[in-house]
């Protein structure tokens, strides 16, 4: 387990191998997810477990000397979700014999959007207080906990929106990344910050693809009554 503690050096900043390797697993999982491969889930779980040890820095004596409670908790949430996703995709594979699109993208309704935005705002208010209480005595600016809470709750909202097939989930991820990248750079988690930038590009591309699919579906549904009448 020497690799668990070995740190490559970037300039004067030490970077943990497990942060680099964890992000490589995370990127591989994202690629597998785009290709709808079952192996994406267990690969992602490995990456999440490694990144948990990185972001829960105080307990694992990381060189950054900082702990991102929201980022660490987010890895736990992703592991739980990935176990469900792994099971679900395996079930679909047995039933259909192949990977298939399980949802048709659409925009959330006004009621659905109001609900998840309320959860996001309320969750940030609660989580920033929880994170600040856990980190009491550890020197960090107050905004640090607000940003960490924003990322944590936003990730949960985005994941739920993805499961529902809402186009909104891409926009939620953009909102998470806009705060996540600066926070990770500030905290000197450079490999994770770079991966967030790469994810942002994938998110923008994914949003365009889903938007086109949802518009095509809406157009097809609108054309059906006219076709039936003719």
CA distance 47 to 43: 7
In this predicted structure, what is the pLDDT of residue 222?
65
CA distance 54 to 60: 7
Report mean pLDDT in 10-residue bins for the chain, 230 residues. Answer: 52 69 83 73 90 70 57 83 79 66 78 97 94 70 86 85 81 91 82 81 82 80 57
In this predicted structure, what is the pLDDT of residue 179?
92
In this predicted structure, what is the pLDDT of residue 228?
52
| Sign of the four-CA dihedral 151, 156, 162, 167 | negative
Crossing angle of helices 17-34 and 40-55, rounded to 10°: 150
CA distance 13 to 126: 33
Are residues 75 and 55 in contact, defined by beta-carbon separation less than 8 angstroms? Answer: yes
């Amino acid at each position: 387990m020497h690799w668990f503690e070995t740190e490559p050096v970037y300039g004067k900043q030490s970077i943990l191998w497990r942060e680099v390797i964890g992000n490589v697993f995370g990127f591989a999982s994202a690629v597998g997810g785009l290709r709808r491969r079952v192996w994406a889930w267990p690969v992602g779980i490995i990456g999440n477990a490694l990144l948990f040890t990185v972001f829960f820095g105080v307990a694992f004596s990381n060189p950054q000397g900082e702990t991102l409670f929201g980022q660490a908790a987010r890895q736990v949430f992703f592991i739980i979700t990935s176990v469900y996703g792994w099971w679900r995709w395996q079930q679909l594979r047995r039933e259909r014999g192949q990977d298939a699109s399980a949802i048709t993208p659409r925009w959330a309704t006004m009621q659905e959007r109001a609900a998840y935005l309320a959860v996001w705002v309320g969750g940030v208010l609660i989580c920033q207080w929880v994170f600040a209480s856990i980190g009491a005595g550890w020197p960090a600016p107050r905004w640090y906990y607000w940003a960490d809470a924003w990322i944590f709750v936003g990730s949960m909202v985005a994941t739920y929106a993805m499961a529902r097939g809402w186009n909104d989930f891409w926009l939620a991820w953009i909102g998470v990344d806009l705060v996540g990248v600066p926070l990770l750079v500030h905290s000197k988690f450079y490999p994770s910050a770079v991966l967030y930038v790469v994810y942002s590009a994938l998110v923008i591309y994914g949003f365009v693809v889903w938007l086109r699919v949802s518009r095509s579906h809406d157009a097809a549904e609108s054309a059906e009554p006219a076709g039936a009448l003719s």
